[in-house]
Structure 1
Amino acid sequence: MKKLEHSKVYRGGITSDVVRLELGATPSVQTYVSTTDAENIRGIQIIVNIASKGGGTTTIVTKINRTDFDELAAHMLRADKDVACKAFARALLKVK
């Protein structure tokens, strides 16, 4: 699992009229393969731990299926085309 050191987590809800920065919450990313479904489903998951209102920790996992990669990549390119292209190139060199 790789921490996304430059990413931030914000939190809001029914008891709050604003979305606030969740201090100390650093998201992590990893790949996953689900073999519990009829077919192997591959993707990435973003995991973050936040303090629970009643005490303790809540873990939130967002699973992004590989069929959504096109949309994710398009948003990355819209946000910063040069940085996204360089990131894709570096990733291609790293992946075996």
Structure 2
Amino acid sequence: MKIYYVYILKCSDNTYYTGITSNLTKRIAEHKSGKYNDSYTFERRPIHLEFYAEFTNIDLAIATEKQIKKWSRAKKEALINNDFDKLPNLAKKKFNKP
């Protein structure tokens, strides 16, 4: 059974990068070495792996990666910090009170 990984990296400029791979060790090494000079992380090295999740269903892994990429920084940090109870509130839109 093939395993897929959705991962979040923290870059040197304090931004987050979310990606997907079937070989996490190899992909992190590629990010760290700057193998792809046109990638988001190339100019933002060094990077640090902050979070990853394993999937056996590629479609679910892709959907999860796309979902996380749309999240706010606060929501990504809640996920990274295992503050799962905060995720629903961070998903709600904030409206200005009159």
TM range (shorter): under 0.3
* TM score, norm. by length of structure 2: 0.24
Structure with the largest fraction of strand: 1
- Determine which structure has greater relative contact order: mean sequence separation of CA pairs < 8 Å that are 6+ residues apart, divided by chain length: 2
* TM score, norm. by length of structure 1: 0.25
The structure whose Rg is larger is: 1
